[in-house]
Amino acid sequence: MSRILYSFILYLLGPFIILNLVLRGFKSSAYFSRWGERFGYINFDSRKEVIWIHAVSVGEVMASVPLVEYFLNQSKKYQVIITTTTPTGSDQVTKCFGGDVEHCYIPYDFIGSVTRFIKQVNPRALILMETELWPNIINYCKNNNIKIVLANARMSQRSFDSYNFFSWVVLPMFKSIDLIAAQYKEDADRFKELGTPTEKIILTGNLKFDSSVSNSERLKAKRILKEMAPKYVLIAASTHQNEEAIILKIYRNLKKEFPDLKLIVVPRHPERFEAVAQLFESSNFIIKRRSSSKSFSNADIILGDTMGELKYLYGVCDIAFVGGSLVKTGGHNTIEPAAWKIPVLVGPHTFNFSSVNKILSEVGGLKICKNPFELESELGRLLRDNEYRVSTGASASRALEKSSGALKLLTNGISQII
């Protein structure tokens, strides 16, 4: 009964869902294309067993890389189809896997859209990355003996409160999932409170810890480094509105003591590239954009306005600040910069990655700065003290090595149910 009510409400919201898609299209034209996929109309045919992996956007796609590679290496037994919600996620699938996997947008959770899509794909299993749950999709999979796995699962307190508020539709959904591979104990405890049977939950740690820097990625970073010819480089990654202005002020102050310091800024959302560019162009610094410049040796500030390069850009930097943390967004992935053996700094608002940041900070590889003043002070210390900077980065890298192993635990769990 609860799912019928949910579906009725969802259909009532249909016009607003489409309006939201249109409004997003004015910010990013990619939202205007491939609408059929969002309603379950796809062209897909495979004679292999199909593994359906859903990754919302760029971060989830990156987290899925070790898992996708695992399935692709299973003697060509499986065909992998990856769905995303955003165009940036779609682009990231192409960058990571090329033609080795199929890709389309996940259908909206209307009963008709879900039925069309799943009948066409006919997956052996659905693997949902992190916490992206849709009642009708899960119900259809459960009724058709399609195994459901929640991989690299996390449940922040904020998400728990939201799910708990809608417990009337959430409880049946969590009981239908065959396996939840929770990152940490606090995540597992929250899933239990939401109705997931204890025997369906395993602890794996964070799958992102199993992502290493490949030789090809090191070569790409080396080429970028050659283009820049830097002495010191600071990156502000995954920044949100208002954070760029704070970073610009800090950079202006640091530049007085470190005149050779370069700054790379990579906004979290592509639709903000132009606004951020205008902010920096009014600063009297020399600004270059990754998308349109070939030489960066004379640039003060480089705007990372390309998709899929962030991981390589970390490789040319001495220090990383990860955004979404000076504002109340909850922070972003701090594992990627740590893999390059550089110090990682964040602001006080990191509730989405609290467990990861705790692991990194306990060994000294990550510094949590309570405000912009502390951030500027810590950056200055790291730039002045080469030994401190190197040891901090090395600590971050060691923490990753000690925390790896999630992929093996996850794939062992999956193999037992499929």
Give every CB contact of residue 114 below 8 A, 6+ residues apart in sequence: 40, 107, 134, 136, 137, 140
- Note if 60 is an active site residue: yes
Roughly what angle, to the nearest 10 degrees, separates helices 372-384 and 243-257? 40
List the one residue out of 309, 363, 361 whose CA is nearest residue 336. 309
From 37, 49, 60, 374, the catalytic residue: 60
Compute the distance between CA of residue 139 and CA of residue 207 in angstroms, rounded to an integer.
26
Give yes or no for a contact between 166 and 367, defined as CB atoms under 8 angstroms apart. no
Three-class SS state of 1: coil
Compute the distance between CA of residue 357 and CA of residue 346 in angstroms, rounded to an integer.
9
Tokens describing residue 95: 């960058």
Question: What sign results for the dihedral spanned by CA atoms 138, 139, 140, 145?
Answer: positive
Residue 169 burial (10 A CB sphere; 0-12, 13-18, 19+): middle
Give yes or no for a contact between 62 and 95, defined as CB atoms under 8 angstroms apart. no
Give every CB contact of residue 262 below 8 A, 6+ residues apart in sequence: 228, 230, 231, 232, 233, 234, 296, 299, 300, 301, 302
Give yes or no for a contact between 55 and 65, defined as CB atoms under 8 angstroms apart. no
Cα-based distances in Å from 60 to 148, 182, 228, 238, 416: 17, 15, 30, 14, 24
Return the active site residues: 60
